[in-house]
Amino acid sequence: MKKILVSKCLLGINCRYKGDNCKSDAVCALGEKYDIIPICPEQDGVLSTPRDPAEIQGNKVMSSSGKDVTEEYERGARRALE
């Protein structure tokens, strides 16, 4: 069975920045055809839940409170690749 990475929040796990999820029944149904590997780069990068929202600004990821969280996002991305 092919493997696919799926964000944990789409599987109903409360890991979004505001502590909720955005479960998608269509995404969950993919488990019938694929081996789903759940990931949350933010949590895997050791960011808390809930947390300030963040966005890419230039070559950095900055939280809404002005904290540079680039390192945490990069750590989470590396763990997702593992």
Interval 19-78: pLDDT, tens: 999 999 999 999 999 999 999 999 999 999 999 999 999 999 999 999 999 999 999 999
**Spatial distance between the Cα atoms of 75 and 80, rounded to a whole number of angstroms:** 9
pLDDT of residue 64: 97
Count how many residues are written for the chain.
82
Q: What is the pLDDT of residue 82?
A: 87
Judged against a pLDDT cut of 90, whether residue 6 lies above it is answered with: yes
Cα–Cα distance for residue pair 70/63, rounded to 1 Å: 9
Which residues neighbour 48 within 8 Å (Cβ) at sequence distance 6 or greater? none
At residue 2, does pLDDT exceed 90? yes
pTM of the full predicted structure? 0.86
Angular region, 66: left φ>0, alpha ψ -120 to 50, beta rest: left
d(CA 32, CA 26): 11
Give the mean model confidence (pLDDT) for residues 10-25. Answer: 97
